[in-house]
Structure 1
Amino acid sequence: MALRETAPPEPSAPRPGDDAVATTAPAASGRGGAGAADAGRAPARSGRRRAAAAPVVRRPVVPGAPPAPPMDAGDRHRLLSGAHHDPHALLGAHPAPDGVVFRALRPGARGVSLILDGGRHVPLNDEGDGLFGGSLALEAIPEYRLHVVYPEAEVETEDPYRFLPALGELDLHLIREGRHEQLWKALGAEPMVHQGVAGTRFSVWAPNASGVRVAMESTFWDGTAFPMRSMGASGVWELFLPDVGEGTLYKFEIATSYGTRLLKADPMARRTECPPATASVVTASHYEWGDQEWMAHRGDRPVHEAPFSVYEVHLASWRPGLTYRQLAEQLPAYVKDLGFTHVELMPVAEHPFAPSWGYQVTGFYAPTARLGGPDDFRYLVDSLHRAGIGVIMDWVPAHFPKDDWALARFDGFPLYEPGNEMRAEHPDWGTFEFDFGRTEVRNFLVANAVYWCEEFHIDGLRVDAVASMLYLDYSREDGQWQPNEHGGREDWAAVRFLQEMNATVYRRNPGVVTIAEESTAWEGVTRPTECGGLGFGLKWNMGWMHDSLEYMSHEPVHRKYHHHEMTFSMIYAYSENYVLPISHDEVVHGKQALVSKMPGDWWQRRANHRAYLAFMWAHPGKQLLFMGQEFAQGDEWKLERGPEWWLLDAAYGARADHEGVQHLVRELNGQYLATPALWQRDTDPAGFRWVACDSADDNLLAFVRYGHDGAPLLSVSNFSPVVRHDYALWVPQEAGHAWRETLNTDDLRYGGSDVRNEGVLERQQDGLLRMTVPPLATVWLRPV
């Protein structure tokens, strides 16, 4: 809004209704965190000064307008208390029997005048409590602006209450139906030009509220001046504020039906203040993408028949202190050098508590402001794509925290969470679960999944804690849960939500994959929705992870008693489309880093680590490795310091120990990409054949993988510290006659003892292939 004269210093008392709206984001502060108790009064001065503007140009002033008809006392009370459903019916300009009635609400103003054609100023009458009104003998409502005089400044502005709704009937219909797949374009703060005037449309779903107002930093978090209108049965409230632009800090002030007021962040905010501040920020994207080629071809090959090797990253701690744009200069190059096809980002949506690692989300539509703005995050994704790397994002629709300024009891009643307290509380995390049976809540989440894929070009969503959504009794004892309508423990509303989410994402975004973190035996997680499945593309194989790590934790002398833990996964390997995850969850909370889970001395631990990684890369299924494990850091991941990069520093005496493992991971990915047998038939039983699955006494496992062209790869793992000389393995005739070793984790380059098979190995007439199997090592062989 243009100031009409140079602004003096800050007044001694705040002005809750001041119109000098911030148009650029100020430094983060705690002021955005004002609670409900502060909503009805102006907080202490912020110390900010108003920007100077051109000197006021004096306009001709005519005598004041005759008084407006008095406002109904009930309407006046509801309007001033923020509990009126239709402030546009009371404010602005309205036809009357004798002309046009004008009324404005400007708390703290000394006077308000209409600016009519030719620049005429017509003063309105002070009706008290910030209300100004008057009547003019006009035949029609004219074009007009408002000139508002405050004790220390004058502003000229458009009247927000002269504008028609900026939210269309189709949007409202889709919201009511729960089918608005681009909900972020209808709700939240949307900068736009409306009726020829630039400003921002604010809209929020709060069906139980008595009234909703827009509170901004510039109004000292008092929303008195800007009540919103109810859009009927949709439960949506709307207001277009002219001259309010990007960078404006805002919240919604909600009057509850039991008389209290809440100050809430926008559930649909696309940008937030940097925590611990909690205000929402008006934003619009100006980013120009450069990943057109990637986007055009990412869906060329079905994911279950494509190479898929994932590097899991916590962005804030990968290189602590780096922003999104600084990460874009380092992360793509590092991941590309190691040969991973994808990165998986632990949650990037805004969250107030950093040690939650992003899994307790308050801003579902906003990338965390800790590392930069939304366009900065787009730049990071774009940079990864231009490096040929796909981007998967952890997505958390299972629950949300109870912070009183966020989603919890948003309009004074359970809204996003179930009304049943027994069902609303998540017993493990101290959070609320979503009400998956509520149409608008389901829409909020489905649209959120679409949002990240369409607005940020995300290639995959790894859906967190799916099991906790599927079962009503998850982590609950008897008496703490209620059966479904059929008497079972399944949450069918959650099932329908997941099916709708998957179907919508796949329909709208070809090439995107959804991945379930699901730890139970629920049938059909990766089965298509039209066949009754949940519709995910891939599922984390938690059973393989737990069993194989349990096996590896035993001393080699005891491993023969646990041999089945390494073979059992092949019993169910083709029941779903699997990812083999060694994720962050396995290297925190006392579980130790991957190399530290292994028995033996330091050399044996690293040897076990290398052998296990090669076994994992060869096993049917895609693979995921958490940062730091690619160079065998010995300590658990710590949020505050991230990977122990110093282990790769030239000044560190054991640098080669860690570089060797890192070099192995680079080689594993290189051969993986070049060997279709390792990924083309991950979901086809014909792509796998055991060579040795019963050699428990030798701690040895061997199998053949096939590609569509029949070209095989033989993987042999020896999980004992004994060299197996002249070891005989039966290999199928069609697998090949002459074999050559292509990878050996005992290679000196990787830190091994360099027991190798030189030259060509011939399959004998008896079908046996005789080879030397190095200790605590995995060897890959391919036909010559």
Structure 2
Amino acid sequence: MALRDTSLPEPSGVARCAPAPPLDPADRGRLLAGAHHDPHALLGAHPVAGGIVFRALRPFARAVCVVTDGERMRLASEGDGLFSGLLPLDTIPDYTLVVSYADGEQEVHDPYRFLPALGDTDLHLIREGRHEQLWKALGAEPMTHEGVTGTRFTVWAPNAQGVRVAGEFTFWDGQAFPMRSLGASGVWELFLPGIGEGTRYKFEITSRHGGRFLKADPMARRAEVPPDTASIVTSSRYEWGDHDWMAHRGDTPVHVAPFSVYEVHLPSWRPGLTYRQLADELPSYVRDLGFTHVELMPVAQHPFSGSWGYQVTGFYAPTSRLGTPDDFKYLVDALHRAGIGVIMDWVPAHFPKDDWALARFDGDPLYEPGDDRRAEHPDWGTYEFDFGRVEVRNFLVANAVYWCEEFHIDGLRVDAVASMLYLDYSRDSGQWSPNVFGGREDLDAVAFLQEMNATVYRRAPGVVTIAEESTAWDGVTRPTDSGGLGFGLKWNMGWMHDSLGYISHEPVHRKYHHNEMTFSMVYAYSENYVLPISHDEVVHGKQALVSKMPGDWWQQRANHRAYLGFMWAHPGKQLLFMGQEFAQGAEWSESHGPDWWLLDPAYGAEADHRGVRDLVRDLNTAYRATPALWQRDTDPGGFRWVIGDAAEDNVFAFLRFDAAGSPLLAVSNLSPVVRDDYRLTVPDGLPLWQECLNTDAARYGGGDIVRRDPVKAEDGALRLTLPPLATVWLVPVPG
């Protein structure tokens, strides 16, 4: 639809309507200024004394005609793009408009003849903050309404004087399409006939302070590729092929199932690949290595690639850099068909201040708190969400449900939970106010997290929520009905910090830090834990995992392998960031991703890097085949120290037990010397034990101090030769 100013004469040969009663000057002024709450009361067709008055707002049109029963009747120009006329009719007829511009004419349905395309139930739930499928009520929804195909636009902007739809079809001028306010809900609505999928749009908002600005749709399900920022009308046509996966993913609770996670930054895993191209490579790679799940760093729309997705502007839109929403569904589907679960990083703690996005959305604080001390996130230069506002909580709770229901996501890892829980997080005295009980806990954020978890678990069986929470908050993984936050799992940041601190010391100094490897068992069953070696630990000068290790290159790799063997045997689930599975020496960079060339046989990397990757594959294979390593992760009876105090030896040994009592013995010798005839007690009645994994094996790049024959227990103990800087797993010989 062209919007062009022209002085060409109006077309002739068409009957003219009678003059219409003039608009009230105040209504006219507010309508033209984009500040009228009910443009449908002024535009469209309405009964008046003497007939039906028709009025249209078509800026820069040369003429507008009403077409009814095949007859055209020309409306008179009122100036400023308004056209009106009176027809001597008793009732409002079916009609269309013919709008003439300098470059032609179009016959269109009048948007202002339609009743609201959003029901009272939706509005009631939105106002209460209880609409669990909010994306079906707000945003841009292609539909057939009153027999006409078009798109319903709806947006929550309770402080606005007026809202208009602008898009490429209006040359980004919103004059022609003001929306109506749907009362106390704060929702604005307009059904635009003829607008369909692929259309780019924004909302032009007039604030109560008189400012006018364009905003991307907070509920947009598709967005332009950055740096462009418009929202795109979309509708899914994807047909899923993961029916068996979805039907059975919740058969075994995650706490008593194998759970080994490969963390991926999709844009840099194989730079340049789209969602569909990734679907051809990522599932087979992850499946070959034996991981049960992938965790995707945030895939929601974000304008700045360097944020890695953690500064989200489009919470309902997968990043358009890699393809369409249906393309992302194709990737998730491919992973499911390969038997791999999909966890997604989710960022409800904060959002960036981009003036075209959520910040001051309708001219006032809306998604963020009105108190600047609470609104500003002190660490990231972003805004925090106003968790005390029911509509904002609804926006986020429904968003969690959206990813699980619409994209079949199997888990949400919730970022920066600690920053949400504490009012004084990164704030000095005077920069925060205590809660109603005088405490530092953010009670609104607590209520939000409980509501989110309870809703997700109720609506999406088989999904797990995971908290990145770094404090000693009590009950992160306790059910909400017992006062907990209701997460399924929690990242064990204490284990990560302590164990990496220990392993980075020279072996001669490790005896002074022995408790850093054992302290985790003091609290291992206080929550349901994931052991994370994530992207955060291999960037910003922290060095890649293998580069944290002391010694020469051989010793670094040996430490790396031994550490992974210890990690996979320790109670809790595992997470490893991409590149660490083959001992990449350089820090990760989102600009180029993992150093895949290190695995090229032409580089001669079999022992150096391919060997470490082979170890990770074997760790996952043995792990999945050994219930003792995962079946009782949350049960203290599933663990027993064999040797926990051998600080001088740098040795750790413990038993893991499955539900039937069958054990696995894990022994880590984190000194660079061979320890001969090392005595380790084992359960009675199990005379023969066999190595099932040894990180010193030659095929992994080790010195090959391995035992291929079973070892016999004597006097309730095994006497083993422990290879240097290595972890060994042993299991009883059946029978």
Corresponding residue for residue 67 of structure 1: 19
Q: Which residue of 2 aligns with 1:347?
A: 298
Compute the displacement of 1:761 (Å): 1.0
Indicate the residue corresponding to 1:771 in structure 2. Answer: 720
Counterpart in the other structure of 1:241? 192
What count of residue pairs does the alignment treat as equivalent?
Answer: 729
SS at 2:665 equivalent: strand
Matched residue, 1:600: 551
Q: Report which stretch shifted further, 648-657 or 739-748.
A: 648-657
Q: Secondary structure at the match of 2:15?
A: coil
Contact 1:647–1:655 (CA under 8 A) maintained in structure 2: no
**Equivalent of residue 99 in structure 1, options 51, 64, 77:** 51
Residue of structure 1 in register with 2:227 after alignment: 276
CA distance in 1, matches of 2:14, 2:538: 76
TM alignment of 1:632-651, pairs within 5 A = 632-651=583-602
Return the alpha-carbon distance in structure 1 between the equivalents of residues 556 and 201 of structure 2. 54
Equivalent AA in structure 2 for residue 755 of structure 1: I
**Structure 2 CA distance, aligned partners of 1:343 and 1:741?**
29
Q: What is the identity, as a one-letter code, of the residue corresponding to 2:162? A: G
The question of 1:732 aligning with 2:683 is answered yes
Deviation, structure 1 residue 757: 1.8
TM-fit CA distance, 1:756: 1.2
Counterpart in 2 of 1:163?
Answer: 114
Alpha-carbon distance between aligned partners in 2 of 1:579 and 1:129, rounded to the nearest angstrom: 63
Give the deviation of 1:60 after TM superposition.
Answer: 11
The one-letter amino acid paired with 1:78 is: R
2:392 match: 441
* 1:322-356 deviations in Å (ceiling 9; x for gaps): 00000000000000000000000000000001000
Q: SS of the counterpart of 2:30?
A: helix
1:54 aligns with: none
Aligned to 1:113: 65
Q: Give how far 1:768 is off.
A: 1.8
Matched, 1:392 2:343: yes
One-letter identity of the residue aligned with 1:195: E
Of residues 175, 186, 191 in structure 2, which corresponds to 1:224? 175
The alignment's C-alpha RMSD in Å is 1.2
Three-state SS of the structure 2 residue aligned to 1:510 is coil
1:76 and 2:28 are equivalent in the alignment: yes
User: Are positions 1:15 and 2:26 aligned together?
Assistant: no
Counterpart of 2:470 in structure 1 is 519
String of CA shifts for 1:406-432, please: whole Å, max 9, x gaps.
000000000000000001000000000
Corresponding residue for 1:781? 730
Instruction: Give, in angstroms, the shift of residue 442 of structure 1.
Output: 0.3
Listed as ranges, the gaps of 5+ residues in structure 2 are none
In the TM superposition, what are the counterparts of 1:9-408 in structure 2 within 5 Å?
A: 15=4, 62-117=14-69, 119-408=70-359
C-alpha distance in 1 between matches for 2:491 and 2:706:
34
Q: Structure 2: how far apart are the matches of 1:371 and 1:15?
A: 36
- Answer whether contact 2:375 2:383 (CA < 8 A) is retained: yes
Q: Which residue of 2 aligns with 1:45?
A: none
Q: Name the counterpart of 2:697.
A: 747
Partner Cα separation in structure 2 for residue 760 and residue 107 of structure 1: 87
Q: What is the distance in 1 between the residues matched to 2:584 and 2:656?
A: 30
SS in 1 for 2:245: helix
Q: CA deviation at 1:700?
A: 0.2
- 1:699-729, CA deviations, whole angstroms, 9 ceiling, x for partnerless residues? 0000000001211100000000000111111
- SS of the aligned residue for 2:537 comes to helix
- In the alignment, the residues of structure 1 paired with residue 268 and residue 645 of structure 2 have an alpha-carbon distance, to the nearest angstrom, of 43
2-side partners of 1:351 and 1:572: how far apart?
37
| TM-score, normalisation: structure 1 | 0.92
Query: Secondary structure, in 3 states, of the residue corresponding to 1:154?
Result: strand
The match for 1:761 among 711, 726, 731 is 711
Shift of 1:640: 0.7
CA drift of 1:62 comes to: 4.9
Q: Secondary structure at the match of 2:601?
A: coil
1:453 aligns with 2:442: no
User: Normalising by structure 2, what TM-score?
Assistant: 0.98
**C-alpha displacement of 1:61:** 5.9
Instruction: Please state if 1:503 is matched with 2:454.
Output: yes
Match of 1:591 among 517, 542, 567: 542
Once residues 420 and 352 of structure 1 are traced to their aligned partners in structure 2, the CA distance between those partners, rounded to angstroms, is: 26
* Identity of matched residues, %: 77
Distance in 2, Cα, partners of 1:257 & 1:105: 23
In structure 2, give the amino acid aligned to 1:134. Answer: G
- Could you report, residue by residue, the CA deviation over 1:266-289 in whole angstroms, capped at 9, with x for unpaired residues? 000000000000000000000000
Output one character per residue of 1:375-407: Cα deviation in whole Å (capped at 9) or x when no partner: 000000000000000000000000000000000
The 8 Å contact of residues 4 and 102 in structure 2, kept in 1 or not, is answered as no
Which amino acid in the other structure matches residue 213 of structure 1? R
Deviation, structure 1 residue 654 = 3.5
Deviations 1:617-639 (A, max 9, x none): 00000000000000000000011
CA distance in 1, matches of 2:710, 2:569: 21
In structure 1, runs of 5+ residues without a counterpart are: 2-10, 18-58
Contact residue 722 and residue 774 of structure 1 kept, 8 A: yes
What pairs with 1:568-587 in structure 2 (closer than 5 Å)? 568-587=519-538
In the alignment, the residues of structure 1 paired with residue 418 and residue 143 of structure 2 have an alpha-carbon distance, to the nearest angstrom, of: 41
Which amino acid in 1 is paired with 2:266? L
Q: Is the 8 A contact 1:61 1:122 kept in 2?
A: no
Output the amino acid matched with 1:346.
Answer: M
The offset of 1:218, in angstroms, is 1.9
Alignment of 1:604-753 (within 5 A): 604-733=555-684, 736-753=686-703
Does structure 2 retain, via aligned residues, the 8 Å contact 1:458–1:512?
Answer: yes
Task: Tell me how far 1:217 sits from its aligned partner.
Answer: 1.1
